[in-house]
């Protein structure tokens, strides 16, 4: 059962975001980006109080994703990415992005904190950051 409301257009949009942000990190990396996106829709806290759907999340500015803000959000979603988007919308979670609201690709090691949020781990090129349960209980 889905953890957020969606339609087929939302599936396609999330799948495109996953591909644009993490295709180089493989399927698991893209699934983790999907986790972050779904978490942002669920969050209702911190920078995500006005994010109510996938479209709001994908195009959030400021505070959104580099892919949509820096012009590399142009490739279509393939069937494999759409299947992965459905998995994250249906509640599949992958560590270290399980409860994460942020990720980024640093030049070196992951900082312990990023914008006052603690590092929950790294997968390949990306570091993931999660709020505390007290700050954002809806993503837990």
Hey, is 130 helix, strand or coil?
Answer: strand
> Token pair of 106, please?
């640093």
Residues 48, 113: Cα–Cα separation, whole Å:
19
Residues of the domain holding 16: 8-108
Task: Provide, rounded to the nearest whole percent, the portion of the chain with pLDDT above 70.
Answer: 100
Residues 84, 11: Cα–Cα separation, whole Å:
9
- Assess if residue 82 is contained within a domain: yes
In order of 23, 43, 69, 111, the CA distances from 28 in angstroms are 9, 22, 23, 22
Which residues contact residue 108 at a Cβ distance below 8 angstroms, ignoring those fewer than 6 apart?
A: none
The answer to whether the CB of 57 falls within 8 A of the CB of 5 is no
- What is the reported pLDDT for 38? 98
- Assess if residue 118 is contained within a domain: no
- Assess if residue 140 is contained within a domain: no
Question: Does residue 63 register a pLDDT over 90?
Answer: no
In this structure, the strands spanning 117-123 and 113-114 are antiparallel
pTM score of the predicted model = 0.96
Task: Dump pLDDT digits (tens) for 8-51.
Answer: 999 999 999 999 999 999 999 999 999 999 999 999 999 999 99
- What is the reported pLDDT for 119? 98
- The number of domains in the chain is 1
Question: Does residue 71 register a pLDDT over 90?
Answer: no
Residues 21, 2: Cα–Cα separation, whole Å:
23
CATH for 72 = 1.10.10.2520
């Amino acid at each position: 059962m889905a953890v957020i409301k969606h339609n087929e257009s939302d599936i396609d949009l999330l799948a495109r975001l996953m591909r644009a942000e993490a295709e180089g990190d493989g399927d698991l990396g893209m699934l983790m980006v999907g986790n972050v996106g779904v978490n942002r829709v669920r969050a209702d806290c911190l920078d995500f109080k006005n994010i109510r759907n996938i479209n709001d999340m994908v195009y959030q500015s400021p505070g959104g994703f580099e892919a949509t803000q820096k012009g590399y959000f142009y490739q279509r979603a393939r069937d494999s990415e759409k299947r992965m988007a459905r998995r994250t919308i249906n509640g599949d979670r992958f560590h270290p992005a399980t409860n994460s609201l942020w990720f980024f690709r640093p030049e070196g090691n992951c900082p312990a904190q990023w914008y006052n949020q603690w590092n929950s781990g790294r997968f390949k090129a990306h570091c993931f950051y999660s709020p505390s349960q007290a700050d954002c209980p809806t993503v837990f």
